[in-house]
Amino acid sequence: MEPGSFIKDALVYLVAAGVLLPLMQRARIGAVVGFILIGLMVGPHGFGALSATWPWISYVTITDAHGVALIGEVGIIFLLFLLGLEFSPARLWSLRREVFGVGLLQMSFCGIAMAGVGLMTGLPGATSLVVGFALAMSSTAVVMQLLTAERRVLSPLGRGALAVLLFQDLMVVPILLAAQILGTQDSGILMLLLMAALKAVAAVGLILVLGRYVLAPLVAAAAGTGSRDLIMAISFVVVAGTAGLTHGAGLSAALGAFLGGMLLSGTAYRHQISVDLEPFKGLLIGVFFVSVGMGVDLSAVLPRLPLVLAAVVVLLAVKVTLTYVAARIFAVDRPLAGELSLLLSQTGEFAFVALGLLAASGILEPERASLLVSVVTLSLICTPFLARLGRHLRGALERRGQDDTLAPVRPEGTGHVVIGGFGRVGRIVAETLEEQGVAFVALDADAYRVRIEQAAGRLVYLGDAGRSEILERVNPEGASAFVVTLDDRDAAERMVRAILHHKPDAMILARVKDAVHARALASLGVSHVIPETVEASLHLSGRLLASLGLSEADVTEAVEAAREKERQRIDLGADR
């Protein structure tokens, strides 16, 4: 890539992302689909195709698709490194059943089924196996980006998805080897397989050893200097080094970056590293999605659009069904298995590599390779919509499967507190009430969380607190107060309306993210709204004033005055 071309392409990307992406998000088009559509528009098959007629168009389009794809791969590496920071070795070890259980079955079922479809369409046996298993893999970039944006990486869904994706990364070696063997007709297959396995094991082992005996002390020494630049530099070395080792061994570079991040997860500096690298990850992941959009050749897709759409439907149907079956065999709850199967139904970015190898060696004819690339790309575009469908499906299955052990029991008497949502905030509220001997009943939409809390003896039940008929089951008329801790704004507002329907004079306290949501709930009739950002700021201000030498009484008075000022600001906004 020439320097001038790189700068021009970077400017086109930044301008397109800065101008078009906000407009798409206003139209409720997610960031993933938005970046893909940007790539489609500014790429060589979009407006770039008109540059032969109007040369000036080349200045506002991206010309080097290969260079963009390479930068996008760096984004995937950073994404997996940051995910690794969230997973300690112990947490990863706890996923071994899912990795080698659900992951193995998912790849086996989907790979064999897709190979069967390939055979029916005329592909030779060996080629259909390689293509089938390549299509069986899912997109680490798309799936983990969606989960990260929704803060669900550490949820049961996030852990299950990561387990399957990690096993798929381990399958990169045999699939690539099979594609290379088909292309070269190498006679020393056994030796090739043995060497590949030894290189993969050696690379992973070297990363683990260096991480324990070299990496942690090195990061600690860098942190001791107080230099954030030095910590950042070492983080980049870790990302590049671990990704390079696994890539050189034939494994996924992203897998190496994940292992590198995991080795740093036990250090005291992982939060600082995560914060410093987050902006790079966001930009680079966007480049990856742009490169996916640039690969869509509309002139090749449109003439055979019915065939492409039919192939996408078959691909998604096969993967959803068989991923669900694999998850259920290992006793994953039906609602979670349903959402997981829809989330992993697309084909991943690795398929582009495998299909490219087969096409370059002449094993796969260009027309069929182009069709398959179009199918893979469209399946990626469908992912955000399928993920949203999965959330709704899970909620419906949880409500339908609600049994007596999970259904709320109407509390007798009065004076209890009803808590809507039992995440981090709801649990803290409940523990405070327990210490004071105040009875409470909680509702939460996460069946896994509900079972854990019920096992601990708490009155936490499965249900949507925003549904009037569910709220009816917790005796709202006899409740002394209601606490709304739901993250979702619409769900919080629905709960408030349901509460006021049963008890118009109810005492309602709501935790909100910001002042805008606070004003919205206050206008509905919530007694007290507590914006997280405001309370954190007041607590910080109080600590600051105390450290400056002010008396406890003066600090309390100043903080309370600031709190009252903010409360008036919220009330004023609610009255408008």
Q: In this predicted model, what pLDDT tens digit does every residue of 55-95 receive, in sequence order? A: 777 777 776 666 666 766 777 777 778 777 777 677 677 77
Phi, psi of 530 (to 5 degrees): -120, 100
- CA separation (Å) from 464 to 402, 492, 505? 11, 10, 22
335-393, pLDDT tens digit by residue? Answer: 889 999 999 999 987 888 788 778 777 788 878 888 888 898 889 888 888 998 998 88
Amino acid making up residue 124: P
The H-or-E segment that residue 515 falls in is helix 515-524
pLDDT at 404: 43
Residue-level pLDDT at 28: 66
Q: What percent of the chain has pLDDT over 70?
A: 82
Chain segment 5-33, per-residue pLDDT in tens: 667 777 777 777 777 777 776 766 667 77
pTM of the model: 0.65
What confidence tier does 164 reach under pLDDT thresholds 50, 70, 90?
very high
Partners of residue 510 on adjacent β-strands? 484, 529
Q: Give the pLDDT of residue 574.
A: 47
- In the chain the domains, ranked by start, together with CATH numbers, are 1-63 (no CATH), 64-399 (1.20.1530.20)
Neighbouring-strand partners of residue 444: 462
Mention every residue, 6+ apart, whose C-beta is less than 8 A from residue 508: 481, 482, 483, 484, 496, 499, 500, 525, 526, 527, 528
Token pair belonging to 153 = 């990486």
The rounded distance, in Å, linking the Cα atoms of 216 and 239 is: 14
Tell me what the mean pLDDT of segment 546-569 comes to: 78
Q: How many Cα neighbours within 13 Å face the side chain of 21?
A: 20
CA 398 to chain centroid, in Å, comes to: 22
195 or 122, which is more confident: 122
Tokens of 481: 């107060």
Please say if the pLDDT value at position 411 is more than 90: no
The structure tokens listed for 41 are 């528009």
Q: What mean pLDDT do residues 441-470 have?
A: 81
Residue 312's pLDDT is 93
- pLDDT > 80? residue 477: yes
* Per-residue pLDDT at 534 exceeds 90: no
What is the average pLDDT value for the chain, to the nearest integer? Answer: 79
Say yes or no to pLDDT of 407 above 70: no
Q: Which two tokens stand for residue 446?
A: 């996460």
Q: Supply the DSSP symbol for 138.
A: -
- 444 with 378: CB under 8 angstroms? no
Query: Is the pLDDT reported for residue 512 higher than 50?
Result: yes
pLDDT digits (tens, 9 = 90+) for 96-146: 888 889 999 999 999 999 999 989 988 888 888 889 999 999 988 788 888
> Contact, 474 vs 451, CB < 8 A?
no
Q: What is the structure's pLDDT at 110?
A: 94
